Amino acid sequence: MTIRVRLTALSVAGAAALGLLAAPAIAAPNRPDTADRVEVFGHRGASGYRPEHTLASYELAARMGADYIEPDLVPTKDGVLVARHENEIGGTTDVATHPEFADRKTTKVIDGVEMTGWFTEDFTLAELKTLRATERIPDIRPNNTIYNGRFEVPTFQEVLDLRARLSKELRREIGVAPETKHPSYFAKLGLPLEPGVVKTLNDNGLNRPNAKVVVQSFEVGNLKELNRQLRVNLVQLISNTGAPQDFIEAGDPRTYADLVKPEGLREIAGYADVIGPDTKVILPVNPDGYLTEPTTVVADAHQAGLQVVPYTVRAENSFLPADFRSSTDQTAYGDVFSFFHALFDQGIDGIFSDNPDIAVAARDEHEAATAGR
């Protein structure tokens, strides 16, 4: 993956219209130049081994060789961006064991889904800092539960501080890939995510075209807004079902499936640089979970001048296509190397994984196997 220069909306759209992006340098699956290698995104850090979205998880990911660490961002009541996959924190912290917060338990509708629990927007940062992270999926990752209660919920700034420290120590720049979570929901609450993302990147000298930063969103409108304020690269995330929440709320009938058609990809190229599709958008599975024919999305995206970084490869049988499961034990590891290779064979530019160590090993193995082909 080589996103060195932030292309402007005009330059991408114009170049695409002129057919100048038909053969981007990163599109070829053979990558003898390591600068063009598939980059590994430590998904929620190294969440296969530590409770997700903790400094310990991000640090382990970087030490395992991840090129990027990935904080999902939600706001506190006092408007501080913190790293959580969702604003409901009953599933990833010990908040339920804090009697002083028992009356904060409530029911809300987030992006059309009713949820009961505790929500970051109802806690100040000082209150949130009294909580400790816990493993999200203890049944599948029981070993990770030994870390329950040991790590705080980090702020975005603390993640960037860690990134800076580890970049110096490891003598390579660790990238960061923040994701704005539920942007329409938080804008309506008066806690928009985008100003904090822009300010924090500005404050840290990271809002520049050659910064190793990519900002992600499942929505479209906020990426277009960020495109006007940020000089870093933007990732349009693509679910394998449904539609962007802002499209739904605006009555726009287009779905994610529409966005990965050539016309949709050309539109994305007007405001973003990368698509981050579910792996099933590239390698679909049948109702029994087995792989079927690959789609043309990777080639179509490259044709539009977009790079492709799918999510998320996890080693446990529970998350793998049926082709690669080792047994019916959902917690056991399957043949995750073969799943990585199947994705790399499609010519992807990066990969999100809960297991960055295995992703790096598979990437290196694939590079060696395809060198000179």
Rounded CA gap, 63 and 174, in Å? 10
Q: Which residue in the set 311, 319, 333, 340 belongs to the binding site for ligand G3P (CB under 6 A)?
A: 311
The secondary structure of 72-110 as a DSSP string is EEEE-TTS-EEE-SSSB-TTTBSGGG-GGGGGG-EEEEE
Under 8 Å between Cβ of 194 and 222 = yes
Q: Which residue in the set 59, 127, 179, 357 belongs to the binding site for ligand G3P (CB under 6 A)?
A: 179
Distances (CA, A) of 230 to 7, 15, 123, 142: 11, 21, 29, 40
Under 8 Å between Cβ of 110 and 182 = yes
* Partner touching 61 among ligand G3P, Ca ion, none, CB below 5 to 8 Å by kind: none
Q: Is 66 in the site for ligand G3P (CB under 6 A)?
A: no
* Partner touching 225 among ligand G3P, Ca ion, none, CB below 5 to 8 Å by kind: none
Q: Please identify which residue in the block is written with the tokens 């060195």.
A: 4
Cβ proximity to ligand G3P, 182 vs 363, nearer residue: 182
Residue number closest to ligand G3P, CB atom: 311
Under 8 Å between Cβ of 251 and 237 = no
Q: Which helix (H) or strand (E) holds 350?
A: strand 350-353
Rounded CA gap, 25 and 37, in Å? 11
Q: Which residue in the set 43, 50, 132, 363 belongs to the binding site for ligand G3P (CB under 6 A)?
A: 43
Cβ proximity to ligand G3P, 31 vs 314, nearer residue: 314
Interface map 192-221 toward ligand G3P (x if CB under 6 A): ------------------------x-----
* Partner touching 237 among ligand G3P, Ca ion, none, CB below 5 to 8 Å by kind: ligand G3P
Cβ proximity to ligand G3P, 43 vs 141, nearer residue: 43
278: which strand partners?
311
- Burial label for 344, CB within 10 Å (0-12, 13-18, 19+), is buried
Q: Which residue in the set 72, 121, 194, 354 belongs to the binding site for ligand G3P (CB under 6 A)?
A: 72
Cβ proximity to ligand G3P, 216 vs 307, nearer residue: 216
Cβ proximity to Ca ion, 179 vs 267, nearer residue: 179
* Partner touching 276 among ligand G3P, Ca ion, none, CB below 5 to 8 Å by kind: ligand G3P
Residue 154 region by backbone torsions, left for phi larger than 0, else alpha for psi between -120 and 50, else beta: beta
Q: Is 276 in the site for ligand G3P (CB under 6 A)?
A: yes
* Partner touching 352 among Ca ion, ligand G3P, none, CB below 5 to 8 Å by kind: ligand G3P
Q: Give the binding site for ligand G3P (CB under 6 A).
A: 43, 72, 85, 179, 216, 237, 276, 311-312, 352
